[in-house]
Amino acid sequence: MRPVTSEADRYQAMTQERAHRPAFSKEAAAAELRRMAAAGEVDRGAVECVLSAAGHLAPRQPAMLPAGLTAREAEVLALASSGLTTAEIASRLVISPKTADSHIQHIYAKIGCSTRGAATLFALKHHLAGDLPGITKLSAHNR
Q: How many CB atoms lie within 10 A of CB 69?
A: 22
* Residue 68, phi then psi, degrees to nearest 5: 75, 20
pTM: 0.53
Domain with CATH 1.10.10.10 in the chain: 66-142
* Helix or strand holding residue 74 (H, E): helix 71-81
pLDDT at position 39, please?
82
Q: Is 100 exposed, middle or buried (0-12, 13-18, 19+ CB in 10 A)?
A: buried
3-class SS at 11? helix
pLDDT at position 67, please?
94
pLDDT at position 123, please?
92
Dihedral sign of CA atoms 138, 140, 117, 60 in order: positive
Helix, strand, coil shares, percent, the chain, to 5: 60, 0, 40
* Residue 12, phi then psi, degrees to nearest 5: -60, -45
pLDDT at position 142, please?
44
pLDDT at position 18, please?
93
- pLDDT by residue, tens only, the chain of 143 residues: 456 888 999 999 999 999 999 999 999 999 999 999 888 888 888 898 999 999 998 776 656 889 999 989 999 999 999 999 999 999 999 999 999 999 999 999 999 999 999 999 999 998 888 655 554 444 444 44
What's the Cα-to-Cα distance from 3 to each of 8, 30, 87, rounded to whole Å? Answer: 8, 16, 24
Dihedral, CA atoms, 116, 117, 121, 127, nearest 10 degrees? 40
pLDDT at position 3, please?
66
In this structure, which CATH number among 3.20.20.60, 1.10.10.10, 2.60.40.1290, 2.60.200.20 belongs to the domain 66-142?
Answer: 1.10.10.10
